[in-house]
Amino acid sequence: MKALRYFGERDIRHDDMADPKLESDRDAIVQMTACSICGSDLHIYHGHGFSEDTGFCVGHEAVGEVVEVGRAVTRVKVGDKVMMPAAVGCGACRSCLSGVVNNCENNASGCYGLSARLQGVQAEAFRVPAADMNAVKIPDGISEDQALMMTDAMATAWFGARNADIRPGSSVGVIGLGPIGLMTVEAAFVMGAHVVYAIDPIPERRALAGAVGAIALHPDEAMERIKEDTRGVGSIASSRW
């Protein structure tokens, strides 16, 4: 098959690679139908990757169709359209089962396409370990493009906003308005934020945040403006009580 493989700084090639194979009864093979390029892939491309390995396939954001499953896989079957969360866990430990896959107690593979340890998804097909956990059927009514955003970027934004304990009426600051920061702004509003201060030095990014209702600020003005609005408390809501 063909895959995008990393060979060194600014050297990612569309190259031949061995077809993926089941390595355990819990694995599945997925034929990729769409994938996206993450900022983390750009770190690798620019030579600031996550390992010294070369020759591995990059990418960790993909949707596709299940083409093969191991005998122990029960939740997905051949022909299912699935999305793959970028973070890969064993699916059996307490951390995985409570949704904190990054803390997998069995030190499962971590993430696709950061090293040779688990090949990436920017390939015609790839192996999904513990597929009952790491391949999720795309619900009806969700497009492939929408599902793709759920594999990393949107989910990361949502998780970050959730960790901030945003509640109806909250005042929220989002620092950095790349794609994930912008989606965090939207997530904060969905969670009921009263006001979102969106902070970034790049005018185009601030404009996008402003278009969805945030108060967009340059870093040089942000501190003073937020202190003023919130009377030094950090929250408009609490400053009223």
- Least distance between Zn ion and beta carbon 162 (Å): 18
Q: Which of 157, 217 has the CB closer to Zn ion? A: 157
Q: Which of 152, 200 has the CB closer to Zn ion? A: 152
Buried b (16+ CB within 10 A) or exposed e, 165-177: ebeeebbbbbeeb
Q: State how far the Cα of 75 lies from the Cα of 135, in Å rounded to an integer.
A: 9
What does the binding site for Zn ion look like in residue numbers (CB under 5 A)?
38, 40, 89-90, 93, 96, 104, 106, 152
Q: Which of 104, 121 has the CB closer to Zn ion? A: 104
- Least distance between Zn ion and beta carbon 96 (Å): 3
The β-bridge relationship of strands 87-88 and 125-128 is unpaired
Q: Which of 105, 224 has the CB closer to Zn ion? A: 105
- Least distance between Zn ion and beta carbon 98 (Å): 10
- Least distance between Zn ion and beta carbon 217 (Å): 27
Q: Which of 87, 195 has the CB closer to Zn ion? A: 87
* Residue facing Zn ion at closest CB distance: 38
Which residues on neighbouring strands pair with residue 174, listed in sequence order?
198
Among the residues of the chain, which ranges form H helices? 39-45, 94-97, 131-134, 144-150, 153-163, 179-190, 203-211, 219-229, 236-239
Q: Which of 162, 22, 156, 44 is nearest to 102 (CA)?
A: 156
- Least distance between Zn ion and beta carbon 108 (Å): 5
